[in-house]
Structure 1
Amino acid sequence: MEPDTAPTLSPLPTSALLELIRRRRSIKQAQLRPDPIPREYVEWMLEAANWAPNHGASEPWRFTVFAGEARRALGESFARSYRLGIDPQKYNPQAEKAQLERVWLAPVWISIGMQPGGHHPEWEEVAAVGAAVHAAQLVAASLGLGAFWTSGMPVLHENTANFVGLKAPARLLGFLYVGYPAIPWPQGLRGDWQEKVAWRWG
Structure 2
Amino acid sequence: MTDQELTLETHSLGAATVEALQQAIAHRRSMGIARLKPDAVDRSLIEQLLEAANWAPSHGETEPWRFTIYTGDSRVALGEAFAAAYQQDAGAGFHEATFEAQKARALMSPVWISIGMEPALKSDGSLRMDLEDERIAVGCAVQNLHLVASAQGLAGMWLSKNIFIHPHVAEFVGLKSPGQLLGFFIVGWPNIPWPAGERGPVSEKVRWAE
Runs of 5+ in structure 1 lacking a partner?
none
Cα distance in 2 for residues equivalent to 1:163 and 1:71: 12
User: Which 10-residue stretch deviates more, 157-166 or 8-17?
Assistant: 8-17
- Partner in structure 2 of residue 53 of structure 1: 57
TM-score (norm 2): 0.90
Contact 1:65 1:110 in 2 (8 A): yes
Contact 1:63 1:111 in 2 (8 A): yes
Cα distance in 1 for residues equivalent to 2:165 and 2:92: 21
Stretches of 4+ aligned residues off by more than 3 angstroms? none
Listed as ranges, the matches of 1:142-161 within 5 Å are 142-161=151-170
Question: Match of 1:113, as an amino acid?
Answer: G
Select 1:131's aligned residue among 117, 140, 159: 140
Select 2:109's aligned residue among 89, 106, 110: 106
CA positional deviation for 1:194: 1.1
- Partner in structure 2 of residue 187 of structure 1: 196
SS at match of 2:11: coil
1:97 paired with 2:106, answer no
SS at match of 2:55: coil
Contact 1:20 1:141 in 2 (8 A): yes
User: Which 10-residue stretch deviates more, 152-161 or 103-112?
Assistant: 152-161
1:64 paired with 2:68, answer yes
Runs of 5+ in structure 2 lacking a partner?
121-126
- Partner in structure 2 of residue 39 of structure 1: 43
Cα distance in 2 for residues equivalent to 1:110 and 1:123: 21
User: Alpha-carbon deviations, 1:4-28, whole Å to 9, x = none?
Assistant: x664243252222111111111101
Q: Calculate percent identity across the aligned residue pairs.
A: 44
SS at match of 2:158: strand
- Paired positions, count: 198
User: Which 10-residue stretch deviates more, 187-196 or 46-55?
Assistant: 187-196
Cα distance in 2 for residues equivalent to 1:78 and 1:114: 19
Question: Match of 2:52, as an amino acid?
Answer: A
Contact 1:85 1:153 in 2 (8 A): no
User: Alpha-carbon deviations, 1:32-91, whole Å to 9, x = none?
Assistant: 1000000001000000000001101100000000001110000001000110122x2322
Question: Match of 1:128, as an amino acid?
Answer: A
Contact 1:108 1:179 in 2 (8 A): yes
Contact 1:148 1:177 in 2 (8 A): yes
Once superposed, what is the RMSD of the aligned Cα atoms?
1.5
Question: Match of 1:168, as an amino acid?
Answer: S
